[in-house]
Amino acid sequence: MSYQVLARKWRPRNFSEMVGQEHVLRALINALDTNRVHHAFLFTGTRGVGKTTIARILAKSLNCETGVSSTPCGTCSACREIDEGRFVDLIEVDAASRTKVEDTRDLLDNVQYAPSRGRFKVYLIDEVHMLSNHSFNALLKTLEEPPPHVKFLLATTDPQKLPVTILSRCLQFNLRRLPQDLIQGHLQHLVNEEGLVAEPAALHQLARAADGSMRDALSLLDQAIAYGGGKLQDADIRSMLGSIEQTYIYDLLQALTEADGRALLQQVQQLSAQVPDYAEVLAELITALHHIAILQQVPEAYDEAMGDRVRLSAFAQALSNEDVQLYYQIGLVGRRDLNLAPDPRTGLEMVLLRMLAFRPAEAGPDTGTPKKKTLSKPVELVSADPVTPVAAATPTETAPVIKTPVATGDDWAATVEKLELVGVLKQLAMHCVITHKDGDVLQLALQPGNAYLHTKERQDRLQEILSEARGEPLRLSIEIEQSSQETPAEQALRLQQARQDAATQAIRADATVQKIIETFNASVDETSIQPVD
C-alpha cells in the first residue's frame, strides 16, 4: 500500500474533527441544523487554514443519504465518494487554471440540470479570484438567480480581487490563521496517534515555522519524520529548518545583560560563520525576550517548549522589566527595517548596539550623569565564631567591613544580599557556596549546572567588589564543583516554597473558602495562590 502523506491522511472528514475556526463552524452548523442554507458561500483566508476542507464537509452535509445535517454519517455512498473525490455532483474547479470566460460558460451550462445522484449539485471553485472579468460576469448571472438544487462554494486567498457584485451575493466567512499553540497541540496529538516520540521544543519549532497554516505544519511534520528517521528532536528540526541554535541567542542575551558591546560584536562575528538569516536571528532574539517577559510577569505560564528554563530564568532575574520591554521593541523595529541596512549583518549589529545605547542609566540629581551605586550598609561575613575585624571602617567611611577569618559555615547568603549585587554577577554569587577561607584567599564552589555563569571577567569583578567591601585586597577563587551546602539560590527557593505552602495551607483551612466550596460546589485553583507579606 502506497504511503499517504499526513495532510491527506488526517484531513478532517466532519466538523467535529476540525481544529480551530469555531466562528465559522458555529454558523455553518446552525444553518445546516435549521435548514437555512444559503445558495452561495465564500471562504477566505491564507493557505492551509481549512477553506476547501470545510467546503467539502459542507458538501457532504448537504448530500448525505441520511439527510441534511451538520453531522454527515461518513459511511453512505455519497459521503464516501466525496471523501474519495469522485462524487459526480460535487464539481471542483481550480480557477487558477480555468480563467477564460469559455471555461466558465462550459462549467455553468449544466447548472440548470438536476443533480445526478445527490440532493444538491455543489460547485466548489478554488482560488476564485483568478477568474477573468468576463468569467465573473458569467458567474454573476447564475449567482443572481440560482436553481434551487445548486450550491456554490467559493474559496480564495485574496478576496480583495473579487468584484463587489460577487461579494454581495455570497455569505462570506473569513478563516483565521491558526494560533501556534493550537497547531503544536494538534501535532502532538498526531504524533501520539502515529506512535512517534517528539520533543516539545521540536514541535514548537514546526508549529512556529507553519506560520498559521495547519497544512504546512503537517507537511513539515512529514519532512521532519523523514529527516530524523522517525525521531523528532529539537536539534534535528533546527537543522532541517535552518534555524539558529539557541546557544547563540543566549550568548547575545548574555552580552546584552552585561552591557558588553565588545562581546556583542564578537558573538555576531561567531554567528556569521553559520551564514545565518539575520532576520531570523532577530526573530529568535525577540522570541527569547518574550519568554523572559513571561517568566518575569507570569511565571506560571511558562511552557517547556519555550526553551531552557534555567537560562531564561537567570536572564529574567538579571534584566529589569523595562530593559526586556525596550529590547523587544527595538528588536521589532529593527527587524522591520533590516532590509534598509547596507547589509543584514550591519543591520543586526546596529540593532544590538541600539539596545545598549538606549538602555536606561541611573542618573545623578543635577548633572544627569550616571550615578555609581554604593553600598549603604556595612557588609559582614558572619562566622559561627565571631572574631574581631582585621580592618574596621570608621563611621565616615563608605567601605563596609568583612570579618575574617571565614569558616565553611559562614552565612554567604546574607553576605550576597548585603553586597547588593545585580544582574548576572548576582546570579553567579547566588549559586556559589564558601568552601575555604585562608587569610586573604576566599574559595567558592559553583554548581556544575550553573557553570555557564562563570567567566574570568565576572570572577575578577566579584573579587573587586568583595575587596572594596572588606577594605583590603581579597583573592577570590571559584571552582566548578558539587557541594552539599545549600546555595543562596537554593535557600531563596526553599523559603519561597515554604511561604507558598503556608499560603496554600491557609487558603485550604480558611472557613470562608470552605463555605464557598460547599455552597457552590467550587474548587480552588491553587496555582493562583500567592503569599502576601
Q: Name the maximum alpha-carbon separation found in the chain.
A: 107
Q: Are 187 and 217 in contact (CB under 8 A)?
A: yes
Q: Which ranges of the chain have pLDDT less than 50?
A: 362-407, 409
Extended beta strands in 23-148, E state:
40-44, 90-94, 121-126
pLDDT at 130: 87
* CA–CA gap between residue 286 and residue 264 (Å, rounded): 16
Query: Rounded to 5 degrees, what angle do the CA atoms 320, 326, 332 make?
Result: 140
pTM, whole model, 2 decimals? 0.55
Q: Are 58 and 226 in contact (CB under 8 A)?
A: no
At residue 479, what are phi and psi to the nearest 5 degrees? -110, 140
To the nearest 10°, report the CA torsion of 88, 91, 96, 102.
100
Q: What CATH number belongs to 277-357?
A: 1.20.272.10
Q: Are 343 and 349 in contact (CB under 8 A)?
A: no
At residue 155, what are phi and psi to the nearest 5 degrees? -135, 140
CATH topology classification for 6-174: Rossmann fold (3.40.50)
Residue in 404, 252, 236 with CA at minimum distance from that of residue 319: 252
pLDDT tens by residue, 174-225: 998 888 889 999 999 999 998 888 888 889 889 988 888 999 999 999 999 9
Residue in 452, 451, 446 with CA at minimum distance from that of residue 477: 446
* CA–CA gap between residue 256 and residue 270 (Å, rounded): 16
- Cis peptide leading into 405, omega within 30 of 0? yes
Q: What CATH number belongs to 180-241?
A: 1.10.8.60
* CA–CA gap between residue 74 and residue 17 (Å, rounded): 12
Helices marked H in 10-91 — which ranges? 22-33, 51-63, 77-84
| Mean pLDDT score across all residues of the chain | 83
Residue in 278, 304, 71 with CA at minimum distance from that of residue 184: 304
Of the chain, the end-to-end C-alpha distance in Å amounts to: 66
pLDDT at 393: 34
Q: Are 18 and 50 in contact (CB under 8 A)?
A: yes
Q: How many helices (H) and strands (E) does the chain have?
A: 22, 8
Domain boundaries, the chain: 6-174, 180-241, 277-357, 377-481, 490-528
* CA–CA gap between residue 343 and residue 116 (Å, rounded): 62
Instruction: Give the number of other CB atoms < 10 A from CB of residue 433.
Output: 21
To the nearest 10°, report the CA torsion of 144, 170, 78, 12.
170
Residue in 378, 433, 428 with CA at minimum distance from that of residue 411: 433
Residue in 336, 223, 65 with CA at minimum distance from that of residue 215: 223
pLDDT at 410: 55
Domain 377-481, CATH homologous superfamily name and number: DNA polymerase III, tau subunit, domain V (3.30.300.150)
To the nearest 10°, report the CA torsion of 108, 110, 115, 117.
-110
pLDDT at 2: 67
pLDDT at 370: 41
Task: Reduce the DSSP state of residue 367 to 3 states and report it.
Answer: coil
C-alpha cell at 525: 485553583
* Residue whose C-alpha cell reads 450550491 in the numeric block: 151
pLDDT at 384: 35
**Quick one: what percent of the chain has pLDDT higher than 90?**
28
* CA–CA gap between residue 45 and residue 157 (Å, rounded): 5
The string of DSSP codes covering 199-231 is -HHHHHHHHHHHTT-HHHHHHHHHHHHHHTTT-
Q: Are 221 and 206 in contact (CB under 8 A)?
A: yes
Helix (H) or strand (E) holding 150: strand 150-156
* Residue whose C-alpha cell reads 473558602 in the numeric block: 513
Helix (H) or strand (E) holding 315: helix 309-318
pLDDT at 405: 36
To the nearest 10°, report the CA torsion of 49, 53, 58, 59.
150
Task: Reduce the DSSP state of residue 327 to 3 states and report it.
Answer: helix
